[in-house]
Amino acid sequence: MKTIKRDNLKIDYTISGKGDATLLFVHGAFINKDYWDAQVDYFSPNHRIVTIDLAGHGKSGKNRNDWSVQALGEDVVTLIKELNLSNIILIGHSIGGDVILEVADKIPDVIIGFIGIDNFKNAGTALAKSQTDQAINFLMQDFQNAVEVFAKQALLSPSTDIEISNRLVKDCREFDPKIGVPLIASSFSYFSREMELLQQLKFKLYLINVDYFPTNEVLLNKYANCGYEVLHLKGSCHYPMIENPLEFNHLLHNIIMKIFNS
């Protein structure tokens, strides 16, 4: 494990493998880079692999006040510049998809591909204000129970493997509410920025989305000006990289080959 700093905050990352291209994996909210372990093992023999603990997550620092999606994007940009990475395929799970939108917007010249994992299912769409206000109030009053309820209702299902459910619930409940609440608030207000950056994206949008919740392709067709492709994966939860790593890696490999050959 290695670290860089941005504004005196430590960002923890790993780098492994060798290759002409770099696969940069960005996790979602409340989890960490260890969720990509099966992908690191699979892809590192042929590619350079970078995984990052987003600020406030995993082993990265917490000494900051700005917990917005934009700030997390700046952290990834700083990492790329510090490591002098190029020929990068960005791979972002959940809110990590919005994080890599920020990266692709700021330094497109070093990016060659963009892959979202179980995200942009209702791209650029706002949730009802009453719904978001209620969620934020619940988080502020009882963070641990609020995130567990959300995880079980929106990210998992009764058929999700119990080890995956327990892992995710544990990570959510142990997450720092001083970071979690503003991060979720930022994600709720990000819809217009998401729509804007999807329209400006200079790369074809590839998605691997789990079918436990449908993807609105009408919106993707509207906003993804460079085109899109959704690969649907059968599953019961929001975490295909740990629920079904063999099939997930196969789909991801196929997308990477398409990017190389485009």
pLDDT along the chain (262 residues), means of 10: 93 95 98 98 97 98 97 98 97 98 98 98 96 96 98 96 98 98 98 98 98 97 98 97 98 98 92
In this predicted model, what pLDDT tens digit does every residue of 135-157 receive, in sequence order? 999 999 999 999 999 999 999 99
Confirm whether pTM is higher than 0.95.
yes
Look at residue 95 in the predicted model and tell me its pLDDT: 98
Q: Mapped to the 3 state alphabet, what secondary structure does the chain carry?
A: CEEEEECCEEEEEEEECCCCCEEEEECCCCCCHHHHHHHHHHHCCCCEEEEECCCCCCCCCCCCCCCCHHHHHHHHHHHHHHHCCCCEEEEEECHHHHHHHHHHHHCHHHEEEEEEECCCCCCCCCCCHHHHHHHHHHHHHCHHHHHHHHHHHHHCCCCCCHHHHHHHHHHHHCCCHHHHHHHHHHHHCCHHHHHHHHHHCCCCEEEEEECCCCCCHHHHHHHCCCCEEEEEECCCCCCHHHHCHHHHHHHHHHHHHHHHHC
Look at residue 134 in the predicted model and tell me its pLDDT: 96
Look at residue 1 in the predicted model and tell me its pLDDT: 72
In this predicted model, what pLDDT tens digit does every residue of 52-67 receive, in sequence order? 999 999 999 999 999 9
The domains found in the chain, sorted by start residue, are: 2-126+190-261 (3.40.50.1820)
